[in-house]
Structure 1
Amino acid sequence: MKRQTRRTFLTTVGAAGSFSLAGCTGILGTDDETTTSESTTDAGTPSNTTAPSETTSGEDNPDDGQQSGPQTFESFEKLGSWSAVERQGTLKKSTKQKYEGSQSAHIVGSKQTKEGQIFRADFAQSGGPVNFSNKNLSLAFKCTSHDFVKIAVQLYAPDRGHIVEMKRTLYGPKGKWVRVNLGVTSAMRPKGVDLSKVYQMKIIGRPNDSNTNKPIEFYVDDLKTVPTPKKGMVMLTFDDGLASQYTKAFKTMKQYGFSGVDAIIPAAVYDDGFLTQGQMREMTENGWDMIAHPNAQARPLDQRPAKEQEQLMVDAKKWLKQYGYAGHKYMAVPKNVMGPKTFDLANKHFEATMSFGASPNALPVIKKDTILSRMYGDGNLQKTKQMIDYAARYKQLTPLMFHRIGGDGFPEQKFKQVLEYIKQSNVEVVTLTDLEKKGLFI
C-alpha cells in the first residue's frame, strides 16, 4: 500500500486524531480507578494511603519465611472455613465449574447490592495469623453473569483498620477462567499494616456497571502465593506506535536509562504521525519491545467472528516477526475488551497479553490463563505516583500506559515528572522481554 493510500485509509477510520484505529481507550473512556486516592473502611471512614518511604513489616528480610515457588494457599476443596458476608450474596461449592481439583467456590450476589462477598476469619484458631510478607497472591476467577466486572481481595493486616486491598477490573472474558495476579491498589493506615499478621481475608465480586439490575455470579479457585522478587518493577507501555513515542518519550527516557514497550499497528508504520522502522529499530537497540497491536480499527475484536479475530492477531504478529522484532510474542488488546474467543486466541498465539485492568500485577507472574493489567499513566498524576509507590513497597509490577506525548497529548513536563518519580523510587524499569529473562513469567 502506497504511503498516500495508507494515510487515506487511516484517516477514513478516524486514526489520525482519535486513535480509533488502535482502539486503546478503556470501555468507559477513562481509568475509573484514577480518581480514588484514599481507601475506605467498612464504615465509610477514609484513611491515608502509603508514602514512598514507608515499609511493610516483615519485608526487610527477603529470606524470612520465603517460599521457593508458587504454592497453593487455598484450593477451595473444602468451604467450611469460608462464609458469605451477611446480606452480600450466597456461597456454595461447584463441582461443575472448577479450575483445579474437584470443586470451586460459587458465589451469587445479593439482589439488593448486586455484589457477592465471602470471607475467612479462622486463621487465629488454625495456628495463628497468616504471614503474607514477601508473598504476592494469584487467584483463578470466572464470571458467568456480566461482561465487565471487578474482583477484589482484602487482607485484614492485622484488623479492619488496616485493610490491604487488591482490586482488578476485567473487561472480559465472560465465562472463562482467568488467572488474576493480584496487585495492591489501596492500603488503610499503611504505617500500621503488618502483612505478617493477616487475621481475615475477604473476596469480593461486583458488576462494573453500578446501574445493573442483575446480581453477579462468579467462581473462585486455586488461590496461590508466589515469592516476591527483591525489588518492585514499573513498565512504561505505549499504544499505537505514534511518532511522539520516539521524538518525545524515547529520547527523554533514554536520558534516564529507561526502556519501554510499544504496541505497534503494522498498517500505520511510516504513515504521518506514526513511527518509522528506522525509529523502531533504534528503540529496540536501546532495549525496547515492539509488540503486536492488531488493527481492529473502530470495531472491537470481540465483536468480530473468531476467524477474523485470529487473522488480525496473526497478521500483526507475522509482520513483527518478519522484520525481526522479538516482541512479536506479546500482544496489547485493542479497545481493552477481551471476549471469550479473543481470550482463547490470545492464549494460542501469544505468550503474554496486556489489557486495561486498573491495577498492578503480582510478581512473579503466573502466566497460564492470565491477562497483564495496565493502568493509565497519563491520568491522575497522584494516582500514578501512588501505584509506583505500591510497586516499590509490595514488590509488584506496575505497567503504565501512554499514548501521545506532547502536543495535544500528555504534556512533556508531566511525563518527565513521572520519569523523575520512578528514578527516585526503589523500583526497576522493565520490559516484557526483561520479565522473561529474569524468570518472572512462571
Structure 2
Amino acid sequence: MATLGAVGVTGLAGCSGGTGSTPTDNGTTSNTTTQSETSSGNETTSESSNGENQAFTRGELVEDFEQFEDSRWGNVGGTIETDTNEVYSGSQSLHMTNQKGRVAGIFKSFPDGLDLSKHDLSLAVKLDKPVRGKIAAEIIAPARSDMLTSKRFIPKELNGWVRIDLGYTGRKGDPVLKGVQELRLMVQSEEGTAIDVRIDDLRKIPKPDKGKVMLQFDDAVTSQYEVAFKELQERGWAGGVAIIPDAINSQGNLTTGQMREMRDAGWDMMSHPQVPKPLPAYSEKKQRELIKKSYNYLDLKGFPKGARHFVAPYNRVSKTTLDLISEFHESSYMFGGCPNNAQQPSNMHAISRVMGKDPRGTRRVLNIAEEYNQLVVIQWHDIGEGKDYETSPDDFKNVLNHIKKKDMDVITPSDLIDG
C-alpha cells in the first residue's frame, strides 16, 4: 500500500421537506476558493452479480491509479494511499483521508498539456465522509489566474461507488483548455469534519459543439401549468414535470387533462414517488415497490415516454436506490449543483441538477456551460407571488430570458435519450 504524506494547506474556503438535506443554492463561484501549498449509447457503469463494477469504456483514460507510485501525483492535503479492497475498476483505487478535515486531495502537472478542449472530465468516487460533501476539481489552464473549478454535491446516503461528471461551476481569467497544465482533485470540509473518500478511473469523455439546457419542475403543482407551461410555450420550449401520482387531480396540483395537454406539447411526465422519508430509509424490497408503483402509474395513464425518467425524492439516493431505479428507468436526476456532459452524461442515473430558485447562481452556471458546451438541468418547484411560493414569476422569467440569449439547445429528458 503506497502512501503520500500530508502537506500544509493555507486557507480553504430534493424536493423540499422535513429532511433538510439539500443545499439552499447552487454554490457557484466566479473564481476558485481554494489556495493550497503543496510539495512538487448508455455507457453508465453497472454492478455485476458478484458485486464488481463493470468497466466504463467511454472516452479516454486519464488516470486509473494502477501505477500511482510512479505517476507524479502530488499531495494537496491529508493522507493519500492506494487501496486494493475498495475498487471501482482494475486492481486498486486511491484512498484520500484527513481526520482533521479541511481538505484531502491530489494534484498533477501536465508539462505537455492535457487537452480538454473537446472533452469533459468524468470520475468514479466513493465518498464515506463527510456524509454530505462535494467532490471538487481545479483545472489550471495554464496558470491559477486562468482556471476552471468544478464542485459536485454527493447526497448523504450515496456512499457507494458512483460515476460523476465534473461540470464547471466557477471560472477565473481566460482558461485555455487545449493545454491544461495542472489538475487538482479533492474533497473539502469544515475544520474538524473528517474526510474519507476513494476515487478511481478518471477519464475524459467527448462533448458536443454546443451546450444544452433542460428545464424540470417537481411535484406537479398547478403553477407549473399556469405559469411555467405558458412561459415555455411562448418560447417554443418543452420541459419535464416530476409527477407525484397520489397528488394528481387534487387541489393545488395538476389534473390528468393538464398532464395530457403538456405531454402533447412535447413535455415529459416523469416519475417522482412521494414518500415521508428519502428512499434509502426503506428496505430494498420497499424501495423497489415504490419505484415500480410510480412507474406503472405513468405507463398505464398514457405517459410511457416520460415514465422512462426518474426524479429522486428529497434528492436523496443510495447505491442500492440507483440500482433499483435503473431496473425501471433510463435516466434519473438529483441535485448535484453542477452541469453535466451534454453529449451523454457519464452516469445516466445520477444526472446533476441546479436550483432555479437561485437565479444568480443559475445564470453563472449557464454562462460557463454555454462557453464550454455542457448540459445544465434546472429545477423549480412552485412559481408565484408571495412568501408561499419558492420562486417568483419575475425570477423565473429572468432565468428563461437569460437562456433565450444563450447559444444553447433547450431539450427535454427524452431528447437527451432519443437524440
TM range (shorter): 0.7 to 0.9
1:200 aligns with 2:182: yes
Supply the distance in 2 between the matched residues of 1:312 and 1:69 (Cα, whole angstroms).
32
1:105 aligns with 2:94: yes
Q: 1:305 Cα deviation (Å)?
A: 2.2
Which 10-residue stretch deviates more, 111-120 or 420-429? 111-120
1:307 aligns with 2:289: no
Which residue identity does 1:223 align to in structure 2? L
Q: Which of 379, 401, 408 pairs up with 1:427?
A: 408
Q: 1:32 Cα deviation (Å)?
A: 5.6
Structure richer in strand, relative to its length:
2
1:175 aligns with 2:159: yes
Which residue identity does 1:332 align to in structure 2? V
Unpaired stretches in structure 1, ≥5 consecutive residues: 1-18, 45-67
Alignment partner of 1:247: what SS?
A: helix
Supply the distance in 2 between the matched residues of 1:393 and 1:150 (Cα, whole angstroms).
23
With normalisation by structure 2, the TM-score equals: 0.85
On the 8 A contact 1:179/1:369 being kept in 2, the answer is: no
Q: Which of 25, 30, 35 pairs up with 1:31?
A: 25
Q: Which of 85, 89, 92 pairs up with 1:96?
A: 85
Q: How does 1:208-227 map to 2 (within 5 A)?
A: 210=190, 213-227=192-206
Alpha carbons of 1:174 and 1:241: their partners in 2 closer, same or farther (altered >3 Å)? closer
Q: Which residue of 2 aligns with 1:345?
A: 324
Alpha carbons of 1:281 and 1:26: their partners in 2 closer, same or farther (altered >3 Å)? farther
Supply the distance in 2 between the matched residues of 1:76 and 1:369 (Cα, whole angstroms).
24
Supply the distance in 2 between the matched residues of 1:26 and 1:312 (Cα, whole angstroms).
22
On the 8 A contact 1:146/1:174 being kept in 2, the answer is: no
Task: Write out the 4+ residue segments of structure 1 that deviate beyond 3 Å after TM superposition.
Answer: 22-26, 36-41, 111-114, 172-175, 366-370
Q: 1:414 Cα deviation (Å)?
A: 2.0
Q: 1:26 Cα deviation (Å)?
A: 6.0
Q: Which of 58, 75, 86 pairs up with 1:85?
A: 75
Supply the distance in 2 between the matched residues of 1:265 and 1:393 (Cα, whole angstroms).
36
Q: Which residue of 2 aligns with 1:229?
A: 208
Which residue identity does 1:178 align to in structure 2? V
Supply the distance in 2 between the matched residues of 1:415 and 1:432 (Cα, whole angstroms).
20
Q: 1:344 Cα deviation (Å)?
A: 2.6
Supply the distance in 2 between the matched residues of 1:28 and 1:400 (Cα, whole angstroms).
15
1:437 aligns with 2:415: no
Q: 1:89 Cα deviation (Å)?
A: 0.8
On the 8 A contact 1:263/1:291 being kept in 2, the answer is: yes
Alpha carbons of 1:261 and 1:376: their partners in 2 closer, same or farther (altered >3 Å)? same
Alignment partner of 1:341: what SS?
A: helix
On the 8 A contact 2:22/2:315 being kept in 1, the answer is: no
Q: Which residue of 1 aligns with 2:50?
A: none
1:401 aligns with 2:401: no
Q: Which residue of 2 aligns with 1:332?
A: 311
Q: How does 1:57-76 map to 2 (within 5 A)?
A: 70-76=59-65
Alpha carbons of 1:82 and 1:25: their partners in 2 closer, same or farther (altered >3 Å)? farther
On the 8 A contact 2:370/2:406 being kept in 1, the answer is: yes
1:129 aligns with 2:113: yes
Q: Which residue of 1 aligns with 2:399?
A: 418
Supply the distance in 1 between the matched residues of 2:162 and 2:368 (Cα, whole angstroms).
23
Which residue identity does 1:148 align to in structure 2? R
Supply the distance in 1 between the matched residues of 2:67 and 2:360 (Cα, whole angstroms).
42
Supply the distance in 1 between the matched residues of 2:298 and 2:364 (Cα, whole angstroms).
34
Q: Which residue of 2 aligns with 1:272?
A: 251
Supply the distance in 2 between the matched residues of 1:162 and 1:346 (Cα, whole angstroms).
40
Which residue identity does 2:166 align to in structure 1? L
Which residue identity does 1:391 align to in structure 2? A
Supply the distance in 2 between the matched residues of 1:242 and 1:37 (Cα, whole angstroms).
34
Aligned residues: 382
Unpaired stretches in structure 2, ≥5 consecutive residues: 1-13, 38-56
Q: 1:417 Cα deviation (Å)?
A: 1.6
State the Cα deviation string for residues 128-158 of structure 1 (Å, max 9, x = none).
1111101111111112334212101111100
Supply the distance in 2 between the matched residues of 1:396 and 1:290 (Cα, whole angstroms).
24
Which residue identity does 2:203 align to in structure 1? K
On the 8 A contact 2:356/2:379 being kept in 1, the answer is: yes
Alpha carbons of 1:284 and 1:42: their partners in 2 closer, same or farther (altered >3 Å)? same
Q: Which residue of 1 aligns with 2:108?
A: 120
Q: 1:24 Cα deviation (Å)?
A: 9.6
The alignment's C-alpha RMSD in Å is: 2.3
On the 8 A contact 1:172/1:340 being kept in 2, the answer is: no
Which residue identity does 1:120 align to in structure 2? K
State the Cα deviation string for residues 200-226 of structure 1 (Å, max 9, x = none).
11101134xx36x44211111111111
Alignment partner of 1:296: what SS?
A: coil
Q: 1:172 Cα deviation (Å)?
A: 3.9
Q: How does 1:308-323 map to 2 (within 5 A)?
A: 308-323=286-301
Alignment partner of 2:35: what SS?
A: coil
Q: 1:340 Cα deviation (Å)?
A: 3.5
